[in-house]
């Protein structure tokens, strides 16, 4: 009996020692959180973080996964482990083992077959119509998320331009009917990942955790649900993503693996914002470096993507977002500012894994050659192909503003549209460019055109019928206005998105007569475009503007659509003495509104009015 008691005692002691040895894990984070088998690349590099983790020796014993690389950095809190995964590996949890002297730690890591990825990655094309939503300012359906005691910025103040207002992912989900009514086929949200900054954390462009949705928007699960809901409606989802910088509260920046992860300067040095230095044959190396390595702002450390571990980290987190959530496209913020060789490598790796995925870069630059230089296969002299299919078409945006607000001239007014589109020879495929009237950084188009309703309608009619992928900023369809000085003025709350709002502009009853007229116009054109392949895939022919009247046509298999824009402050008669009207076919004016056009007689086009005429073949 005594020997049995002693045996039991020593067994308990031994198990307790083992438990202590394996329970005191030094690991705080492993990223990516899990990975897939069957990828085009059979390797993944794990970032392992914990106090003095380099003192622990990692090992792995698994029939499907091998540990083929271990890298240490100057900071003892990081290890980078390269795993090689057998493409045939089933879904399983592997054990990453760490040993230091007599202590051992086992860390579970999951491998999932690529076949179990979320459906998505459908990409964008000219058939699509994008709706851009600023999540914090759209709708608040989960007030319990408004503030979080564990985060630095806990202030909710709807009367402030700089604090959070409480919009969330559930608010977007709850208004998908409204979005769908506009004929939208793709939803773009400004960044939703964590921005745990002490102030102005609402906009999302200073991320502090790349794998976590900001808790004040909801959760990873809430974002996943929203993506699923959109896909069920046939709406694609675009993730807004940043590679140039992080927020200075990012957990990695707070304890860098190595100082080379960030482009540090002896004193704060801001980027020049001068993109031409990247392709200018006469640019100085000093100007080039300031453009790419200068900081976007004081609280946005500029990332050095030439560091291999950082480059892998950014590429893998992008692949993970696509595979985990099933998003269909990336809008890449500040595309011109990161290292362009890295951006090319990023695009190549993403398309290697997801061939139908779509990426468009924000290129807030001046001049079509500069803008086109960033796109793929454009014939420009550069040492690499960017693998970037599309850019935000600022040049066409500038041209449209000129057409609506300047007098007609040889290169001014309506002529600006003609000359800008003539430069499409600089792109491999300009129909992939994302067009827009305004966005979260720009003055509202309704204010830009002097609150002229006819100009606003013409602007939208042009965007919806010319080449490209149109993008509509939330609230433009009901005439939201303001100039972007500061930016917060154009990031206003959508009326009716908060339970305490006195008016609900999401419903016809909450909108006034003018707002309903605008909404109906936008909704009709959105639906019309969606149902007419001649617009989104037909050939584009433009005519030299005459006396401030700009005309172009889209020719498809079954019909040709003529668009006539009177970009004058006076009436103009439609010139019917050209081939469109000479050919046989049935003609009709697209009923975007009751404008009383009779094609049999003289057609008078009102100031700044745009008419759309169909001819069936």
Backbone angles phi, psi at 14, to 5 degrees: -60, -45
The answer to whether 308 is a known catalytic residue is no
Nearest to 95 by CA among 67, 46, 61: 61
Q: Strand (E) positions, 117-196?
A: 130-133, 186-189, 193-194
Report the distance separating Cα 375 and Cα 378, nearest Å: 6
Q: Kindly give the interhelix angle for 394-405 and 453-465, rounded to the nearest 10 degrees.
A: 140
Report the distance separating Cα 71 and Cα 83, nearest Å: 12
Q: Of 128, 214, 248, 362, which residue is the catalytic one?
A: 362
Place of tokens 């860098």: 256
The answer to whether 333 is a known catalytic residue is yes
Under DSSP, the state recorded for 533 is H
186-189 and 130-133 strand pairing: parallel
> DSSP string covering 180-209, please?
HHTT--EEEES--EE---SS--SS--S-SE
Look at the chain and count its residues.
Answer: 617
Report the distance separating Cα 449 and Cα 459, nearest Å: 9
Mark 220-232 as b/e (b = at least 16 C-beta within 10 Å): bebbbebbbebbe
CA 226, distance to chain mean position in Å, is 16
Rg (CA), the chain: 28
Q: Kindly give the interhelix angle for 453-465 and 513-530, rounded to the nearest 10 degrees.
A: 10
Q: Which residues contact 357 (CB under 8 A, 6 or more apart)?
A: 121, 123, 322, 328, 329, 330, 350, 351
Would you say the C-alpha torsion 181, 184, 186, 188 has a positive or negative sign?
negative
Joined together, the tokens standing for residue 56 give 């622990």
Report the distance separating Cα 370 and Cα 363, nearest Å: 9
Helix (H) or strand (E) holding 241, with range, is strand 236-242
The SS3 assignment for 245 reads strand
Place of tokens 């002297």: 101
Place of tokens 């103009």: 572
Report the distance separating Cα 341 and Cα 363, nearest Å: 16
Q: Which residues contact 493 (CB under 8 A, 6 or more apart)?
A: 137, 138, 158, 165, 167, 501
552 in Cβ contact with 545 (< 8 Å): no
Q: Of 62, 333, 424, 614, which residue is the catalytic one?
A: 333
Joined together, the tokens standing for residue 229 give 């809901």
Report the distance separating Cα 205 and Cα 339, nearest Å: 18
604 in Cβ contact with 611 (< 8 Å): no
- Count of C-beta atoms within a 10 Å radius of residue 266: 5
The SS3 assignment for 568 reads coil
Which residues are tagged catalytic? 333, 362
């Amino acid at each position: 009996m005594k020997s049995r008691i002693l045996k039991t005692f020593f067994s308990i002691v031994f198990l307790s020692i083992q438990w202590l040895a394996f329970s005191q894990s030094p690991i705080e984070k492993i990223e990516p959180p899990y990975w897939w088998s069957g990828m085009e690349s059979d390797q993944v590099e794990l970032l392992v973080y914990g106090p003095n983790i380099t003192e622990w020796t990692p090992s792995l014993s698994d029939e499907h996964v091998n540990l083929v690389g271990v890298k240490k950095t100057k900071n003892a809190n990081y290890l980078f482990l390269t795993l090689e995964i057998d493409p045939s590996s089933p879904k399983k949890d592997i054990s990453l083992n760490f040993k230091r002297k007599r202590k051992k730690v086992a860390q579970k890591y999951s491998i999932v077959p690529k076949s179990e990825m979320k459906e998505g990655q459908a990409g964008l094309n000219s058939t699509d119509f994008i709706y851009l939503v600023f999540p914090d300012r759209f709708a608040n359906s989960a007030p319990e998320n408004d503030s979080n005691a564990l985060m630095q910025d806990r202030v909710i103040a709807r009367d402030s331009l700089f604090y959070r207002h409480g919009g969330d992912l559930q608010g977007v989900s709850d208004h998908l009917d409204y979005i769908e009514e506009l004929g939208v086929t793709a939803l773009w949200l400004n960044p939703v990942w964590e921005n745990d900054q002490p102030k102005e954390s609402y906009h999302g462009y200073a991320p502090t955790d790349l794998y976590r949705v900001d808790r004040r928007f909801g959760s990873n699960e809430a974002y996943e649900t929203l993506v699923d809901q959109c896909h069920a409606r046939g709406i694609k989802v675009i993730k807004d993503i940043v590679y140039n910088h992080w927020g200075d509260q990012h957990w990695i920046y707070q304890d860098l693996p190595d100082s080379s992860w960030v482009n540090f300067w002896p004193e704060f040095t801001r980027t020049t914002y001068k993109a031409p230095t990247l392709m200018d044959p006469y640019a100085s190396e000093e100007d080039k470096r300031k453009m790419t390595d200068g900081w976007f702002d004081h609280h946005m450390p500029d990332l050095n993507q030439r560091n291999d571990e950082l480059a892998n980290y950014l590429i893998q987190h992008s692949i993970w977002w696509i595979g985990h959530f099933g998003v269909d496209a990336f809008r890449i913020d500040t595309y011109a500012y990161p290292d362009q060789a890295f951006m090319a490598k990023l695009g190549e790796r993403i398309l290697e894994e997801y061939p139908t995925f779509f990426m468009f870069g924000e290129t807030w630059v001046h001049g079509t050659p500069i803008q086109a230089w960033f796109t793929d296969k454009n014939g420009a002299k550069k040492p690499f192909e960017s693998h970037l299919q599309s850019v935000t078409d600022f040049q066409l945006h500038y041209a449209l503003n000129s057409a609506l607000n300047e007098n007609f001239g040889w290169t001014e007014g309506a002529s600006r549209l003609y000359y800008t589109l003539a430069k499409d020879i600089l792109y491999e495929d300009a129909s992939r460019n994302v067009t827009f009237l305004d966005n979260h950084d720009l003055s509202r188009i309704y204010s830009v055109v002097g609150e002229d309703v006819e100009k606003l309608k013409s602007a939208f009619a042009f965007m919806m019928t010319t080449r490209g992928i149109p993008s509509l900023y939330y609230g433009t369809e009901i005439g939201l206005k303001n100039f972007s000085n500061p930016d917060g003025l154009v990031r206003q709350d959508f009326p009716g998105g908060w339970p305490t709002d006195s008016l609900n502009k999401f419903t016809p009853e909450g909108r006034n007569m003018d707002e309903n007229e605008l909404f109906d116009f936008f909704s009709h054109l959105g639906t019309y475009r969606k149902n007419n392949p001649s617009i989104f895939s037909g050939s584009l022919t433009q005519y030299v503007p005459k006396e401030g009247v700009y005309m172009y046509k889209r020719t498809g298999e079954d019909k040709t659509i003529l668009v006539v824009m009177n970009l004058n402050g006076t009436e103009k008669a439609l010139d019917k003495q050209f081939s469109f009207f000479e050919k046989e076919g049935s003609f009709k004016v697209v009923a975007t509104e009751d404008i009383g056009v009779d094609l049999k007689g003289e057609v008078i086009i009102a100031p700044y009015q745009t008419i759309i005429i169909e001819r069936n073949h």
